[in-house]
A and B are shown apart, each in its own frame.
Chain A
Amino acid sequence: MLRKIKRVAATVLFWALLAATFVHLTYLYRGDLAHTRKHVTGFYDEKQDSLDVIMIGTSATFSAFMPMEAWNQYGMVSYNFSINTLYTDSIKYYVREALKTQSPKLLIIDIAPFLFGHHSYGKMEEVFEVPTRYNTDGLSLSKNRFDLINAIVPEWEDRLEFYFDLFYYHGDTIPQPVFAGNRQHNVEKGYDNLPIRQIYTNDELAERNWTEIELDEANKEAFLELLEELQDYDFPVLFISQPYLNVENGSPDGLAAYMERVIGEYGFAFLNLTDHAEEIGIDDIFDYSLDYLHYNTSSAEKITAYLGKYVMEHYPIPDRRGEEAYRSWHEDYVLWQEILEEERKETKRQMLEMFEQTTEPECYLNLLRSDYVSSCIWISSQPFVYKDEILWGRISDLGVALQSEGVPHNSLVIIDHTLNQQILYNEGAEFRFSSTFGEVRYTDGDMPELYIQESDHSDLLENEALIAVVVAERETGKLIDFIAWGSNEDDYVILSHKTYYP
């Protein structure tokens, strides 16, 4: 009998250790499909009940709010518990997950998933598998994760590979320390910088329209379920909408208006940051990355400053900067500053790279407004006709007033944004050429001088109906890009485009 009991006990222990090994291997080999796994593992690494503010949302959220800056400016202890393509029907499970280890004083939920159609829609075609895994594969193995998978993966046969996500990731290189489990310290507290990829033209931006548009059935159900559940909690919930560009008659405005009303009916607060974009200081051209609803470091710093101040003024969130228990946050901030500096450089680098990727005149000329560059525009005397407009009119948007008549042939126009000056050289004015094609130099008190290698572009410079632009990095004077357009009757033509960056 004793032998049997020992045997049973040994068997149970063996299988328990095997299960633990399986769990450990899962955490060890889990890949990082969207590079946001660290947001989740970082959340688990935070001390129990240490966070006062938890923000939940999608990529628009984690690129918009910098918890470490909120800490530095206001002493707010927060975490950006957001992941790529968070489904609307996943939000309540993420709330439950957060509340397993934390007792926040404020929960902030970004409505971006609802505005931009993040829902599983009960589909498991190939295109949906990866976004679905963004939702499931960072969470620790638990009943809540099990419930989440059941909610967003429709067929039970497909669920099996989600329950046991090691089956998906095994064989990957080990992405984290061997014994870390499913937690790893995240200095950024869930914030992540996203690459800049697109600059919009004015044509692509639609007028705001706040006429209510109801959510579709699936999202409405997820929304109402979430609101119902949130009512059971005893802490305040703030819904927010990050600022976004209204691109191509998009419906987000209408959806946001609808959600704002319903949120109010349930007694929750709503803050629409789009309404406050000007106050925040968002620049429509330079403060969006990836597309119209994601942010770079510049915009994230502005949003964080504004939102952090709002939260501290409207909610009883303590300033923890003097508390011994949060000493590690000071240490993290030191590290964060290095990270932020690198990310600012990265944002700058991405912006400068946009010159290579952009060829459309309006977008390109919009880029010239960037604080990172200075530029010179060479304009021929003939009007540059583009999209049935005289493009010189657009250049006037940049703060330079030009007149179609009176600009001599082969004139050089230098625009300096910091000085907001135009310097016009007439034909025959002395113009220095150098053997190296390379620099816009700013010498003390003197006019900026443009150095162009004659052999490269002088033939272009003699063309009529031409706009040529030379772009230099403002800080160093190093050349970044050169582009020249000609025009035919219907469209613009790129005559030359040469990049010197990096």
Chain B
Amino acid sequence: MIFNSVEFLIFFPIAVLGYYLIPHRVRYLWLLACSYYFYMCWNPSYALLILFSTAVTYIAALAMSALADKKRAALWKKCCLAGGFILNLGILVWFKYTDFFLFNIGRIAEGIGIKWTPPQLDLLLPVGISFYTFQALGYIMDVYRGETAAEKNFFKYALFVSFFPQLVAGPIERSKNLLSQIQERHRFEFETVRDGLMLMLWGYFLKMVIADRAAIFVDAVYAEEHLYGGWYLVIATMLFAIQIYCDFAGYSIIAMGAAKVMGFRLTDNFRSPYMAQTVADFWRGWHITLTGWFRDYLYIPLGGNRKGRLRQYLNIMIVFGLSGFWHGASFSFIVWGLLNGFYQVAGKLLQPVRDRVVSALQINRQAFSHKLYRMLVTFLLVDFSWLFFRAGDLGEAFWALTSMLHAGNIHVLTDGSLFTLGLDEKNFLVLALAVAVLIFADYMKRRGIVLREWLCRQGTWFRWLCLYAAFCAVLIFGVYGVGYDEKAFIYFQF
């Protein structure tokens, strides 16, 4: 069941209604049932996996907690933590990376003259496994560090792992945030519910009007990139930057909104990333919860920036390399991750040079023009890395890169060729206008202005007009229905 489906539009009100009608003390059971139902709509057998992951980390946390006063507590805690990690990551590795490893071992074997055909397991990746696995692992890390108490109620903990708004594509919540809210009593508050619904509407706008529309062109070009090289690929890659942002951010915002309707506050996963001035800044605004997870549970344990500059750069590369690998079992994802790591390392290394240049040229760093320049450069760097993300494999990525560097078909920008790949002029116009709305909203967010709150302070007639306009925009211009191939959210595949 995806968010932009009629099934969800029926399921969600029932879930919310049940939530507020049921007595508070058993509401979590209702939500747990809804969450498992939501997950099992993808595939009933997935429930066993998430249940296993839940049980393992629940037991590990309880064991750590119970062993806190025992002899050799530290060792036992480490064992429980390791056991939890190994079992959970083991499942993730099995489903996500087995074919990748087998394939590459086979290639290495072939390279050194050993004849061995690796088995093709073609394992189907259970949706959301990367997200809930990390969420559960984050919990046992928090328990290990003593930052949070182990949850004794198995069902409440199970709800923390499987909470349906953020189950299949994040945000990856911390136990300190979400688990504590499960204990809270949530009353029906009009403003909160309204705000949640408005968030959902905005999320649907991003996903259905922008992301899925851009995807039509992007998919058409990348499906036949040998036919549509050069400037087609340039435009498609730029549109992919918009597509992936609106797709993922749209999902996260819908998740936030859905949770908020029930009184839960999820972490904002995006903060105007394309308005960033540096790549590091970009990563402080992109998939914030994953970046935070890697920072707290990998980068800092590796030493962070506390062990000298070289070690810091190495840690950055490791973290981003693994982050890339988390996204997909392919070298192109690893390259994408490493490239982003490299940008940040290079940024740090070149900082003194940039400072000298700025000083010498007497550039006003606070000037709008300079900020715009930095924003565009950052966007171009990030978009370049998206090429590896989208291409699927390294070979295709490098082919696309070569094609773009030798692009001799600039005429396609003006002769109407771009309108022949699924998006006609009208649709490009709709896309452009929608992106303009997005840029405005992101700019406001960057300035600390929450447009929803501003709208709620306006007169009823104006507020309703805006909401109806947004509603009509999604209904009319959203990509769904006939011909829509149920584009799952991009991040579902991770």
Q: Which residues of A pack against B, CB within 8 Å?
A: 7, 10-11, 14, 17-18, 21-22, 25, 29, 157, 160-161, 164, 166-171
Which residues in chain B, 9-48, are within 8 Å of chain A measured between CB atoms? 10
A7 and B467 CA atoms in complex are apart in Å by 17
Residues of B within 8 A of A25 (CB): 472, 475-476
| Contacting residue for A170 out of B6, B190, B467, B476, CB 8 A | B476
Check A167/B6 contact, CB under 8 A, given A7-B190, A14-B464, A17-B464: yes
A residues in contact with B6, CB < 8 Å: 160-161, 164, 167
CA distance A169 to B475 in the complex (A): 10
Q: Which residues of A contact B480 (CB under 8 A)?
A: 167, 170
| Contact residue among A10, A11, A17, A167 (Cβ-Cβ distance under 8 Å from B481) | A167
Q: Are A161 and B481 in contact (CB under 8 A)?
A: yes
Is A157 touching B7 in the complex (CB atoms < 8 A)? Answer: yes
Residues of B within 8 A of A166 (CB): 475, 481
Q: What B residues does A171 contact at CB under 8 A? A: 476-477, 479
Cβ < 8 Å to A, chain B residues 31-86: none
Contacting residue for B468 out of A10, A17, A29, A160, CB 8 A? A17
Q: Which of B7, B475, B477, B481 has a CB less than 8 Å from the CB of A22?
A: B475
Establish whether residues B460 and A160, one from each chain, have CB atoms under 8 Å apart when the complex forms.
Answer: no
Is there a chain A Cβ closer than 8 Å to B478's Cβ? yes
Residues on A with C-beta less than 8 A from B472 are 21, 25
Residue numbers in B under 8 Å from A22 (CB-CB): 475
Q: Which residues of B contact A170 (CB under 8 A)?
A: 475-478, 480-481
- Determine whether B294 belongs to the interface, using a CB cutoff of 8 Å to chain A: no
Q: Which of A25, A160, A164, A167 has the most C-beta atoms of chain B within 10 angstroms of its own C-beta?
A: A167
Between B6, B7, B467, B482, the greatest number of chain A beta carbons within 10 A of the residue's beta carbon is seen for B482
Given contacts A18-B468, A161-B481, A168-B481, contact A10 B7 (CB under 8 A): no
For window 437-494 of B, CB contacts with A under 8 Å fall at: 460, 464, 467-468, 471-472, 475-482
- Residues of chain B within 8 A (CB-CB) of A168 are 481-482
Using A11-B190, A161-B482, A170-B477 as known contacts, list a sample of 12 further A-B pairs with CB atoms less than 8 Å apart, ordered by residue number in A.
A14-B464, A17-B464, A21-B471, A21-B472, A29-B476, A160-B6, A164-B6, A166-B475, A167-B6, A167-B480, A168-B481, A169-B481
Complexed CA–CA distance, A14 and B482 (Å): 29
Query: Which 4 residue pairs across A and B have the least CB separation, nearest first?
Result: A167-B481, A160-B6, A168-B482, A168-B481
Give complex CA distance A443, B482 in Å. 60
Q: How many residues of B contact A (CB 8 A)?
A: 18
Q: Among A10, A18, A157, A169, which residue has its beta carbon within 8 angstroms of that of B460? A: A10
Q: Determine the residue in chain B with the shortest Cβ distance to A165.
A: B481
Complex Cα distance, B484 from A171, in Å, reads 12
List 14 A–B pairs whose Cβ atoms lie within 8 Å, in order of A's numbering.
A11-B190, A14-B464, A21-B472, A25-B475, A157-B7, A167-B481, A167-B482, A168-B482, A169-B482, A170-B476, A170-B478, A170-B480, A170-B481, A171-B476
Nearest CB of A to B158, in Å:
28
Chain B neighbourhood of A21, CB < 8 A: 468, 471-472
CA A269 to CA B280, docked complex, whole Å: 83
Q: CA separation between A29 and B477, bound complex, in Å?
A: 11
The interface residues of chain B lying within 8 Å CB-to-CB of A18 are 468, 471
Most buried by A among B460, B468, B475, B477: B475
User: Which A residue sits closest to B482, measured CB to CB?
Assistant: A168
Give the residue name and chain of the A residue nearest to B190 (CB): A7
B301-330 residues at the A interface, CB under 8 angstroms = none
Q: How far is the CA of A167 from the CA of B464 in the complex (A)?
A: 23
Nearest CB in chain B to that of A133: its residue: B482
Cα–Cα, bound, A160→B1 (Å): 14
Q: How many angstroms from the CA of A29 to the CA of B481 in the assembled complex?
A: 13
Most buried by A among B460, B477, B481: B481
Which residues of the partner chain B approach A29 to less than 8 Å between Cβ atoms?
476
- Minimal Cβ-Cβ distance residue in A for B5: A160
What chain A residues lie within 8 Å of B467 (beta carbons)? 14
Report the bound CA distance from A11 to B475 in whole Å. 20
Q: CA A10 – CA B480 in complex, angstroms? A: 30
A263 to B115, CA, bound (A): 78
- In the complex, A13 Cα to B341 Cα: how many Å? 52
CB distance from B9 to the nearest CB of A (A): 9
In the complex, residue of chain B having the shortest beta-carbon distance to the beta carbon of A11: B190
Q: How far is the CB of A10 from chain B (nearest CB, A)?
A: 7
Tell me, in angstroms, the Cα distance from A157 to B11 when the chains sit together. Answer: 13
Q: How long is the Cα–Cα vector from A17 to B460 in the complex, in angstroms?
A: 13
Cα A164 to Cα B10 in complex, Å, equals: 13
Least CB separation from B194: chain A residue: A11
Contacts of B460 in A (CB 8 A): 10
Task: Kindly state the separation between the CA atoms of A7 and B129 in the bound complex, as whole angstroms.
Answer: 41
CA distance A160 to B480 in the complex (A): 13
Closest A residue to B427 using CB positions: A171
How many Å lie between the Cα of A22 and that of B10 in the bound state? Answer: 16
Cβ contacts under 8 Å, B7 to chain A: 157, 160
Q: Taking the nearest CB of chain A, how far is it from the CB of B11, in angstroms?
A: 12
Interfacial residues of chain B within 205-260, with CB under 8 A of chain A in the complex:
none
Chain B residues with Cβ below 8 Å from A169 are: 481-482
CB neighbours (8 Å) of B479 from chain A are 171
A160–B479 alpha-carbon span in the complex (Å): 17
Smallest CB gap from A130: residue in B: B482
Tell me which residues across on chain B come within 8 A of A11, comparing CB atoms: 190
Chain B positions 171-195 with a Cβ under 8 Å from a chain A Cβ = 190
B465 CB to nearest chain A CB (Å):
11
Q: Contacts of A160 on B, CB cut-off 8 Å?
A: 6-7, 10
Cα–Cα, bound, A169→B10 (Å):
20
Name the residue of chain B whose CB is nearest to the CB of A10: B460
A166 and B478 alpha carbons, distance in the complex (Å): 11
Q: Which residues of A contact B482 (CB under 8 A)?
A: 161, 167-169
Contacts of B190 in A (CB 8 A): 7, 11
- Write out the residue numbers on chain B whose beta carbons fall within 8 Å of the beta carbon of A161: 6, 481-482
A164 / chain B contacts, CB cutoff of 8 Å: 6
Cα A164 to Cα B190 with chains together (Å): 28
Complex CA gap A14/B468 in Å reads 9
- The docked-state distance in angstroms from the alpha carbon of A15 to that of B67 is 55
Q: Measured between alpha carbons, how far is A7 from B10 in the docked complex, in Å?
A: 24
User: Once the chains are docked, how many angstroms separate the CA of A439 from the CA of B479?
Assistant: 56
Per the bound structure, the CA–CA distance linking A17 and B472 in Å amounts to: 12
User: Closest chain B residue to A159 by CB distance?
Assistant: B6
Q: Which A residues touch B464, using CB under 8 A? A: 14, 17
A495 to nearest B CB, angstroms? Answer: 42
Q: Give bound CA distance, A168 to B475, whole Å.
A: 11
